[in-house]
Structure 1
Amino acid sequence: MTTRTAPPFRADHVGSFLRPRYLLEARDQAAKGEITREQLRAVEDRAITEVVKAQEAAGLQSITDGEFRRTYFHIDFLEQLGGVQTDIPVTVKKPDGTEELAPPVMRVIDKVRHVKDIQLADFKYLKSQTARTPKVTIPSPTMLHFRGGRAGISKAHYPELEPDFYDDVAKAYGEELKSLAAAGARYVQMDDTNLAYLCDEKMREAARSRGDDPNELPHRYAKFINRVVAQKPAGMTLAMHLCRGNFKSTWAATGGYEPVAEALLSEMHIDAYFLEYDDARSGDFRPLRFLPKGKFVVLGLVTTKLGQLERKDELKRRIDEAAKLVPLEQLCLSPQCGFSSTVHGNVIPHEAQWAKIRLVLETAKEVWG
């Protein structure tokens, strides 16, 4: 078995890392008006340079900016699309004392359009800091529909969702991908919680209450995503990461991939899938039977929610188990999610995240060579 020289890599990662304290302090200062936006960006540049070096030192081939310029993995991007209005998420305390991020509702109040190159400047800085493969992470376009459903999309501008709404969003995403490709981006990942949420019966019931059919939605979303893929520039790898929630080490949904597997893996024309498989919440590997030749699944076997390090022999056992359904050549390994999908970060030590990255790299080398 050979190592891969193109993404996804045998040892890969989702993208976000815990923010250093000095960056969090600078963000607070900027929010209070004590430093300018330009001064904050200089601090972000410093932190990104450091996290790039840390990724390279660990041995990663795909390099991100740690999502250090973002507050939330999705809102910072979506609110810069024309026609989109987003609410700031609210942190709520659950009965057991843990905190949960109440999902914000994305509202489409006008025609959706690409009014600026959203990630371009950030990508250019990242690319200037590494000779390896820079990866850009953006939220999935399904985020504009799932949380609010039909009620969250202006009927004045979209009396019917099909085809104009889906076409407009896909066009906006296509223009963003083209701007990134022109600057040299070859690896883009779309982060999607919605398809994973559709594996959870409570979330499926919530979709029904909004007037959607949870059995039909995965197939509709596959067609939606394919409209974006159709505009993907040549030479770009487009991956998708599925997440069941990742806020301060908590999660929002549970359930195996079976309800969405065929639409996700077979109908959707994505190149690679980062799938959470760090605990029983994600179910077994049987849904992987829908993966066709030519696509990759990056097994998220290492949790980012807890600091305890997984056993390497257990990771190998689970890779072997998955390889009974998908050829080993089509599998890779990564942590199950980012370490800091929001600015708050998961409740683990900084050193623990790097120990887990090293574990992924060591395990992948022993499995794939």
Structure 2
Amino acid sequence: MTTSHSIPFRADQVGSLLRPPAVHEARDRFARGEIDAAALRAVEDEQIARVIAKQEEVGLQAVTDGEFRRAFWHFDFFGGLNGVEIVEEDSGMAFHGTAPKPHAVHITGKVSFPDDHPMLEHFRFVRDHTTVTAKQCIPAPTVMHFRLAPESIDHSVYPDRASLFADLAQTWRDAVRAFHAVGCRYLQFDDTAWAYLCSDLELERARERGLDTENIAQAYADLLNDIVRDRPDDMTITTHVCRGNFRSTWISSGGYEPVAPYLLGQVDYDGFFLEYDSDRAGGFEPLRFLPHDGRRVVLGLVTSKSGDLESADAVRARIREAAEFAPLDQLALSPQCGFASTEEGNVLTEEQQWAKLREITKIADEVWGFPQDR
């Protein structure tokens, strides 16, 4: 376990940010063939440099590119792997409200991480344009697996779960090494699978897709530990557990109790971003499974799904409630999710987004002291 004293920071963020109009326009023009890839990148570069400066201005000590170069928080990464194809078809993921155009993962060959994965270059740009910590977010392998239907896998390549998990572990270990080699010291695995395991409804839907869910929580814990066990000593790896986030909608409900003994109690992450902005996440009692070893739970108490600014007093009260089950020194604060898990973004304004992030840094300073080890 290689926990930094600073990361996750007391005031932190999940990763994605609302795309400004210039990015939307450039991506639309590129899709219509009106500009080339170089012109699109020039617009993205300008807007990402601007949003990095804005993140620093509101007091964040970890900044991202807002995922401005992505359409989806996960499919863009998966599609850059060897042996993986992204297709337009129903994935079996059911949003409560507006839903994105359905996409699904197909495994067509041996899965591996290529040396030229485009997100390595994405990270380099952030690294070179910030004075604070550059953070990189990628989806966890458990996300890919939970979405797979039996017919989505080439069984001549992967006849069983064990063979697939062995290559997923190697692929993500190679990704960790590759991001570290380009200077990444703060890597986050975004993960919806653990939230689905909290939901009897999503588990039933998974079984209907043909997914073997027997002992799946333990299998996921073992897979993730197989990945993070060899991470470099100066690299922090966290996870964000997401319950679905598209245009302010959601997928799964259910408290963390069913998975906390595995996720918090077994997986050797350095930090855990947990959604706590609604009663869909249940109470703080599962935090009792967090080992008292310095790792942090980042409480997602500020919602990214609406522009209404939370009461600072109410947020501080909820932090005190959480501290009844885990040491206050092992807690931090963030939005419950990103502001734009897909390029469409959630239903709020950029001004409201920045107000929430500014409020988070202010509350964190008040709760944990200033100057704090953000």
TM-score for the superposition, normalised by structure 1: 0.94
Deviations 1:49-72 (A, max 9, x none): 010000000010001010010000
Partner of 1:6: 6
Paired residue secondary structure (1:228): helix
Amino acid corresponding to residue 165 of structure 2 in structure 1: Y
Deviations 1:301-336 (A, max 9, x none): 000001101000100110000000000010000000
1:1-369 superposed matches below 5 A: 6-88=6-88, 98-101=97-100, 104-118=103-117, 119-162=119-162, 164-212=163-211, 214=213, 216-294=215-293, 295-369=295-369
> Percent identity of the aligned residues?
46
Verify the 8 A CA contact 2:91 2:147 in the aligned structure 1: no
* Unpaired runs of at least 5, structure 2: 370-374
Verify the 8 A CA contact 2:91 2:104 in the aligned structure 1: no
Count of paired positions: 363
Deviations 1:148-187 (A, max 9, x none): 244432211011221x311211111111211211121100
Verify the 8 A CA contact 2:303 2:335 in the aligned structure 1: yes
Verify the 8 A CA contact 1:106 1:143 in the aligned structure 2: no
Structure-1 separation of matches of 2:288 and 2:17: 32
Structure-1 separation of matches of 2:187 and 2:95: 38
* Unpaired runs of at least 5, structure 1: none
TM-score for the superposition, normalised by structure 2: 0.93
Structure-2 separation of matches of 1:230 and 1:218: 18
Paired residue secondary structure (1:274): strand
Amino acid corresponding to residue 302 of structure 2 in structure 1: V
Paired residue secondary structure (1:12): coil
Structure-2 separation of matches of 1:23 and 1:116: 27
Verify the 8 A CA contact 1:52 1:63 in the aligned structure 2: yes
Verify the 8 A CA contact 1:193 1:244 in the aligned structure 2: yes
Q: CA deviation at 1:103?
A: 5.3
Q: Which has the higher contact order (CA 8 A, sep 6+)?
A: 2
Paired residue secondary structure (2:188): strand
Amino acid corresponding to residue 196 of structure 2 in structure 1: Y
Deviations 1:258-309 (A, max 9, x none): 1111111111111100000001011001111111122210000000001101
What is the Cα-based RMSD across aligned positions, in Å? 1.9
Amino acid corresponding to residue 104 of structure 1 in structure 2: H
